[in-house]
Chain A
Amino acid sequence: MKGKDRLLAWLDQRTGLETAVRNFLYERIPASSGWHQVFGSVALFLFLVQIFTGALLAFNYAPTPGDAYNSLRYILAEVTGGRLMRGLHHWGASMMVVVVVLHMTQVFLYGAYKKPREATWMVGVALLLLTLAYGLTGYLLPWDNRAYWGTVVTTQLAARAPVLGPYLLRLLGSEGAVGVVTFARFYGLHVLLLPPATTLLIALHVYLVRKHGVAPAIDDEARSQKKFFPEQAFRDTIAVFIAFVTLFVMAVAVRVPLEQLADPTDTTYIPRPEWYFLFLFQTLKLIPGPLEMVGVVVLPGLAVLVLLLVPFIDRGRVRRVSERTFAAAAVSLAVLGWTGLTLAAIATTPKPIVAAIDFSQPTDWMQLSPVEMAGIGYFRQENCASCHTVGDGKPRIGPDLADRGIHKTAAWMIEHFKRPAAMVPGSAMPAIQLSDAQLNTLAAFLLKLNPRNAEALQSAPDFAVEGALTYQKNQCGSCHMVNGVGVKLGPPLNGLKRRRTQEWVEKHFRNPQALSRGSVMPSYKFSPPEMRNIVSYLFVLQD
């Protein structure tokens, strides 16, 4: 026996590792096994991705409402690979829901839950519920408006449960309102309780799959079995690889939303749940008040019960997919219902509310130049007011930004934003991860602050700030003037509302030459919110 073989034999004798790997790789599986059976492995892989990225996020995340938002911003701006980490965790969660549902659909269509695999199916249903529970509990953790209001609805749903409602609400720490206790409970569930519960159930699920073997097709009885390795192992590996590449591309290319810090008094916010819960959200709209319980408890409860009992409801022997017309019809109906309700929920989402404030009288923020207005956007985005007093006298860790005594030149401030401690020794301020142009914009706004105007400037409406940001990003000031700032190549934009309608201005942005013959202005392809904000901003400017 060679040295390597002796070492392996020694290891196997002590640990059984080689035998275990051999048993795993050479497990006998039905001859019909193929690509349709890869989803379970992909779901397991995605769970491991969630565990790994979740742990990496936890290394930099402060789990209290006071710090969660800022620590997440820190992860996104400062931590190496932080944005990728969050992207993988966020989109991985969505992908996991998709893959688990695909896995269940495949098992359902193939009738693979039939005797003796009833328990395997039921554990699978429990795993689906756990996957959704991660979605619900993780939703609160960024502590932005989306998280806060989504969780208000979730906890109120729990409160509607018959008899148990008040106890559930207390258990979730949401008796008075969603606050620090709710946050601690959701975080505890998300990182301490759900992962071991999922691990245990996955172990049980895999044990049951191995005990009963992969469900064979009818024709398999006449064919000899094959081994898991190499054919099926190869298919599983390819499927996992495709899933990871898709997830990675999404994490890099699709930005995960992080909205404004949670504001329980924001009555203009329009809450919406994660996409896979939109169908349930829409169902609740269709059920009138007195029957609320039906939508909140009875229907979802029945759906879960039916799903759990599928193996006992369908006891027929038919296993051939082409003959399982009832199962195919049930899946088609579910897909149609889910799609219809989800599309209806998206279509009926109202447009964001622009507060009905009378803008006929000039207020302080209207006197700002677009660059200073856009600075308010970065001021809010960077959440400067969470550490700095801004003329309101409330003591905070950072100095009062409205105090003219601390104002320096824009160049000094930009250096300070980039390397706070280098400019102010001992400063605990984190570096601001913005471009030089953006930092210049932020400095321009801060230099405008004084104790008299601080409150008025900060109360500038979001649409005007967003509009000014779009104005800045597209360098409209290279040809136009607003509040006396810019270049007088094109017409000044103050007083635009007296000269043109909003529809005209929107059309002009899209195709200037169609409305102004000989115009040298390029066309702009703004998104609908960008167009709404920039036009609204230009129309509140005073003469």
Chain B
Amino acid sequence: MEAGDISRLQLKDPVELVFRKNLVDGWKITSEKQTAWVVKLSDQKVVAFGPQCTHLGCAYHWDEAEAEFLCPCHSSVFSADGAVISGPAPRPLDRYETRVENGKLLLGALRESSGQNA
């Protein structure tokens, strides 16, 4: 699905993109708001992280002052490339499959990251 325009992304400056996705939730099919933290790691490489901490699923946020992702639940800290810096998170941030077409970011399935930092 299309998540948004990435032409204005700054290098290693994560942006939370909001997009809509059809979700099957039990007996309900709904179009829900979803988010992804998108980071331009280099001119060729853009990654999109799932919005939940890999520890226990809380929503983390980007701490501008420290330039790192911080989970407010159990204080897990991740770098801009999703690696665990500190805290109880057992693995790096999960990533969406991504493809860039005409400056638009397309997201695929959310893949669980392996236990090692990327």
Contacts and interface: CB of A to CB of B under 8 A. Distances in A.
B90 A152 contact: no
Interface string B1-35: 00000000000000010100001111110001111
B95 interface: no
A268 B35 CA distance: 13
Interface in A171-220: 173, 176-177, 179-181, 184
Interface residues of B, number: 32
Interface stretch (B40-48, B51-59, B98-106): B51-59
Interface in A487-527: none
Interface string B68-111: 00001111000000001001111100000000000000000000
Contacts of A3: none
A287 B75 CA distance: 11
Contacts of B57: 152-153, 155-156
B64 interface: yes
Q: Which size bracket describes the interface of A in this complex?
A: 20 to 34
Contacts of A152: 52, 56-58
A347 interface: no
A288 interface: yes
A156 B25 contact: no
A267 interface: yes
B61 A265 contact: no
Given A284-B74, A285-B74, A153 B88 contact: no
A425 B60 CA distance: 47
Contacts of A270: 72-73
B18 A271 contact: no
A12 to B, nearest CB: 54
A450 B2 CA distance: 29
Contacts of B58: 149, 152-153, 271
A254 to B, nearest CB: 25
A8 B18 CA distance: 73
A292 interface: yes
A35 interface: no
A350 B66 CA distance: 15
Contacts of A353: 61, 72
B96 to A, nearest CB: 15
Nearest to A177: B25
Nearest to B54: A289
A51 B43 CA distance: 61
Interface of B: 16, 18, 23-28, 32-35, 51-52, 55-61, 64, 72-75, 84, 87-91
19 contacts: A149-B59, A156-B55, A157-B56, A176-B24, A177-B25, A180-B27, A265-B34, A267-B60, A269-B59, A270-B72, A281-B73, A281-B74, A285-B87, A289-B87, A289-B90, A292-B88, A348-B75, A350-B72, A353-B72
